[in-house]
Chains A and B, each alone.
Chain A
Amino acid sequence: MDVVVIAKEIKRDDLLQMHYYLRLTRALEDRITALYRQGRIVGGVYTSHGMEAIAVGYASALEHDDVIAPFHRDMGAFLVRGFTPGEVLAQYLGKRTGPTKGKDGNVHMGDLKRGVFGFVSHLADNLPVAAGAALAFKIRGESRVVFAGTGDGGTSRGDFHEAMNFAAVRKLPVVFFCNNNQYAYSTPLRLQMAIPNVVDRAKAYGMPGDIVDGNDVAAVYLAAKYAIARARAGEGPTFLEFKTMRMHGHSEHDPAKYVPRELLEEWKKNDPILKAEHLLKQLGYGEETYFKEVVERVKKEIETGLEFAEQSPLPDGPEVLQGVFADRADSH
């Protein structure tokens, strides 16, 4: 079906908001990359450049009480869940005002109050955790849903399979997704798995799955909405494979020479922001002057955020000793 026809199912304001978050994500990560190149950010920087539609799309499809376990290229999901550019930049700069108070870096942020699980570098580790959160919702009879994902490489890990299996056996209200960006660091898909599509893995668990254009925010949003509704209705988990392309290196230190340039050129035409703006124009929801306004708006927000982050204090060395154990179960 024509994408414009399908996108009409989405409210105008929701689409415009997703476009804003796409722009905010792109601008924030570009700013972070620039800071990294200037040596002002230490540690790794893993961006979602060219893949922003996945996180923005699925996070926008969730309700306030739902929970996410994002992939490490899901900056947009943090922003949709209410993390501000200032908080994010404070995190990258290792400041006390960041969500981890300097205990962890980059996109390893989490906050239970905003329903976001902190990312664990051991890919797929948070998928059994997500299944367990869904189990808690099911045990308590709540209509909440968990949305959790990993990359194509992460689907090779046992925890991915253990989570998918357990969730399917117990019909848990969770949606699993894979950000299939063709490469796990330098390893291409053909060395990762012997199946043409990651979604093929879902069949083994008796779980329905779908392939979605991960660069089309409307398609991501609608596929997520459908899977979330299924989970909320008690029909069990769904697996969504979002096909996309990693346009930068694994991390910003990696020039990714192992990726054929022509492949990147091809995918560049499929940029999620250009695609979203094209759709908005077709639907009559926005045009160039509006898009320029959004660019200016997010730029200001990021500069304000950067000011906050830079003025924030660094943690004191002895703070390393704080927080190993919790005093209370609800301490955040």
Chain B
Amino acid sequence: MTTMTQVTEEVSYLEAISQALDEEMARDERVFLMGEDIGTYGGAFKITEGFLQKYGEWRVVDTPLAESGFVGAAIGAAMMGLRPVVEMQFADFISCAFDQITEVAAKNHYRWGAAVPMVIRAPFGGGVHGGPFHSECPEGWFFHSPGLKLVAPSTPYDAKGLLKASIRDPNPVIYFEHKFLYRRIKSVLPEEDFVVPLGKADVKRAGNDISVITYGAMVHLALEAAQALAKEGIDLEVVDLRTLIPFDKETIYSSVRKTSKAILLHEDNKTGGIGAEIAARLAEDCFDCLDGPILRIAPPDTPVPFSTPLEEFFLPKTSDIIIAARKLAAY
């Protein structure tokens, strides 16, 4: 089991998620898991490998193939005092549960005061040759639905700390975990219990010239671009949103007030994406401090394609950030 990992060893993003689930289940008997193939099989990505043996079939509940049904069931269990964490096998399948999430989970507390403390884990994002049904970034749909909290970590530390905070939050939280990062990003984690509070962005790289505001796998792309641009004397600040709702206006605004220039970078489609909303907020609230246009880097408005050259064209690249930064630096 992942809990046997030595503290000095590096932990992958995937293992960090697994550790958070395991530790929360051990800490709080109300926490239980539901999803497709999470028991015997350990989940499509093996996040819950060994959990069935450790916690039994009533805390690691394999469900029929029915996302709306098991999300609805999680809502009911949450209202009755449990703390369900449900797994979407792929974030793409969350569309099947859209109604339960936006109409029931998101509105119950507002309408009649019933808190719905639950987490939906949604493995999202491209770069893994998943094609149109296994690569989506569906966070934009839920960004527009009041009553939900949305989380998207970029590092093992944030992945673990944010998942723990999500499980302990009294609201429905959708936790977008990036599939591309699962086994690619590793770090040493603290031995003691820790949480990363929801609603706090993190400056992953401090810089003076341009703020790149991003989340998920794109954080790493921005950091790569920042390294390259440093050689040209362009100093990027990389702001990792970490929580998309509620988003951390203070950190975003203070970064842009310092650099006076902003790039919004995400892997979700450009139109109506999270970048559009933050750009609008910056225009409304920080107009007087801007020295250049607010730029967005995001995929075109198409489904996520399968074939390698198509997907490479679709996804933002380090070079896109470098080009945009050079353009902004000229202002």
How many Å lie between the Cα of A159 and that of B67 in the bound state?
10
Q: Contact flags (1/0) for A161-175 with B, using CB distance below 8 Å?
A: 011011001100000
Interface size class of A (residues with CB under 8 A): 35 or more
* A137 near B80: Cβ-Cβ < 8 Å: yes
A124-141 CB mask vs B (1 if < 8 Å, else 0) is 011111111111111110
Question: Which of B63, B72, B84, B109 lies at the interface centre, i.e. has the most chain A CB atoms within 10 A of its CB?
Answer: B72
19 contacts across the A-B interface (CB closer than 8 A): A67-B80, A103-B110, A103-B112, A104-B111, A109-B112, A111-B113, A118-B112, A120-B107, A125-B100, A128-B69, A131-B76, A135-B61, A139-B59, A140-B82, A165-B69, A166-B73, A323-B113, A325-B149, A326-B170
Q: How far is the CA of A158 from the CA of B115 in the complex (A)?
A: 25
Q: Are the C-beta atoms of B100 and A163 separated by less than 8 Å? A: no
Interface positions of B from 60 to 106, Cβ below 8 Å from A:
61, 63-64, 66, 68-82, 84, 99-100, 103-104
**Residue among A118, A138, A140, A159 making CB contact with B68, cutoff 8 Å:** A159
Write out, one digit per residue, whether chain A residues 90-123 have a CB within 8 A of any chain B CB (1) or not (0).
0000000001100110001111100001101010
Among B59, B71, B103, B149, which residue has its beta carbon within 8 angstroms of that of A122? Answer: B103
CB of B78, distance to nearest CB on chain A (Å): 8
A324 touches B58 (CB 8 A): no
Whether A129 contacts B73 by the Cβ 8 Å rule is yes
Contact B103 A128 (CB under 8 A): no
In the complex the two chains form, what is the Cα distance from A131 to B84 in whole Å?
A: 14
Inside 8 A of B305's CB, which chain A residues have their CB?
A: none
Distance in angstroms from A87 CB to nearest chain B CB is: 12
B132: interface (CB < 8 Å)? no
Evaluate contact between A324 and B110: CB separation under 8 angstroms: yes
Question: How many of B's residues come within 8 Å of A, CB to CB?
Answer: 43
Distance in Å: Cβ of A142 to nearest Cβ of chain B: 9
B171 contacts A by Cβ under 8 Å: yes
Asked whether A332 is an interface residue with its Cβ less than 8 Å from the other chain, the reply is yes
* Interface membership of B117, Cβ < 8 A: yes
- Digitize A142-181: 1 where CB-to-B-CB distance is under 8 Å, 0 elsewhere: 0000100000000000110011011001100000000000
Instruction: Tell me, yes or no, whether A327 is within 8 Å of chain B by CB.
Output: yes
Q: A162 is contacted by which of B66, B107, B114 (Cβ under 8 Å)? A: B66
- Decide if A169 touches B64 in the complex (CB within 8 Å): yes
B113: which A residues are within 8 A, CB to CB?
A: 100, 110-112, 323, 331-332
**Per-residue contact bits, chain A 185-208, to B (CB 8 Å; 1 contact, 0 not):** 000000000000000000000000
Q: How far is the CA of A224 from the CA of B111 in the complex (A)?
A: 29
Residues A307-331 near B (CB distance < 8 A): 323-331
- Given A122-B99, A325-B147: A163 touches B111 (CB 8 Å cut-off): no
B72 adjacent to A133 (CB under 8 Å): no
Instruction: Give the shortest distance, in Å, between B210 (CB) and chain A (any CB).
Output: 33
In the complex, are the beta carbons of A133 and B79 less than 8 A apart? yes
By a beta-carbon cutoff of 8 Å, the part of chain B in contact with chain A is 32, 58-59, 61, 63-64, 66, 68-82, 84, 99-100, 103-104, 107-117, 146-147, 149, 170-171
A198 CA to B44 CA, complexed, in Å: 37
**Which residues of A, 39-95, contact B by the 8 Å Cβ criterion?**
67
Contact of B79 among A104, A122, A129, A324 (CB under 8 A): A129
A133 contact set on B, CB distance < 8 A: 76-77, 79-80
Q: Is the CB of A128 within 8 A of B111?
A: no
Task: Flag if B104 contacts A125 (CB, 8 Å).
Answer: yes
Q: Decide: B75 and A132 in contact? CB cutoff 8 A.
A: yes
Whether the Cβ atoms of A129 and B76 lie closer than 8 Å is yes
Q: Are B79 and A117 in contact (CB under 8 A)?
A: yes
Q: What B residues does A135 contact at CB under 8 A? A: 61, 73, 76-77
Contacts A162-B64, A162-B72 given; does A110 touch B103 at CB 8 Å: no
Q: For the complex formed, measure the closest distance between the CB of A115 and the CB atoms of chain B, giving whole angstroms.
A: 10
Contact B170 A128 (CB under 8 A): no
Residues of B within 8 A of A127 (CB): 72
- Known interface pairs A129-B72, A136-B76. Does A110 touch B111 (Cβ–Cβ under 8 Å)? yes
Chain B residue contacts of A136, Cβ below 8 A? 76-77, 80-82
Q: Are B80 and A326 in contact (CB under 8 A)?
A: no
* A19 CB, nearest partner CB in chain B, Å: 29
B150 to chain A: closest CB distance in Å? 12
B54 to chain A, nearest CB (A): 16
Pick from B58, B79, B107: contact of A112, CB under 8 Å: B79
Chain B hits for A330, CB < 8 A: 115
Alpha-carbon distance between A181 and B260 when the two chains are bound, in angstroms: 64
Q: How far apart are the CA atoms of A100 and B70 in the complex, in Å?
A: 26
Task: Give the residues in chain B near A126, CB-CB below 8 Å.
Answer: 72, 104
Tell which of A132, A165, A329 touches B72, judged by Cβ atoms closer than 8 Å: A132
> What's the Cα separation between A227 and B270 when bound, in Å?
53
Is B109's CB under 8 angstroms from A325's CB? yes
Residue of B nearest to A116 (CB): B112
**Distance in Å from the Cβ of B182 to the closest Cβ of chain A?**
28
Q: Is the CB of B81 within 8 A of A328?
A: no
Residues of B within 8 A of A67 (CB): 80
Q: Are B80 and A125 in contact (CB under 8 A)?
A: no
Taking the closest CB of chain B, its distance from the CB of A193, in whole angstroms, is: 20
With contacts A128-B69, A158-B68 known, is A326 near B74, CB below 8 A?
A: no
In the bound assembly, the distance between CA atoms of A289 and B60 in angstroms comes to 59
B69: chain A residues within 8 A (beta carbon): 128, 131, 159, 162-163, 165-166
* Cβ B112 vs Cβ A329 within 8 A: no
**B-side contacts of A169, CB under 8 Å:** 64
| CB-CB nearest 6 A-B residue pairs | A128-B72, A132-B76, A162-B69, A132-B73, A136-B80, A326-B115
Interface contact B111-A331, CB-CB below 8 Å: no
Are A132 and B170 neighbours in the complex by a CB distance under 8 Å? no
Q: Please report the C-alpha to C-alpha distance between residue A108 and residue B73 in the assembled complex, in whole angstroms.
A: 20
B82 touches A324 (CB 8 A): no
Shortest beta-carbon distance from B6 to chain A in Å = 33
A331, B70: Cα distance in complex, Å: 24
Q: Which residue of A lies closest to B117 (CB)?
A: A329
Interchain CB contact under 8 A, A166 and B110 = no
Let me know if B76 and A139 touch, CB within 8 A: no
Give Cα distance in the complex from A99 to B112, angstroms.
7
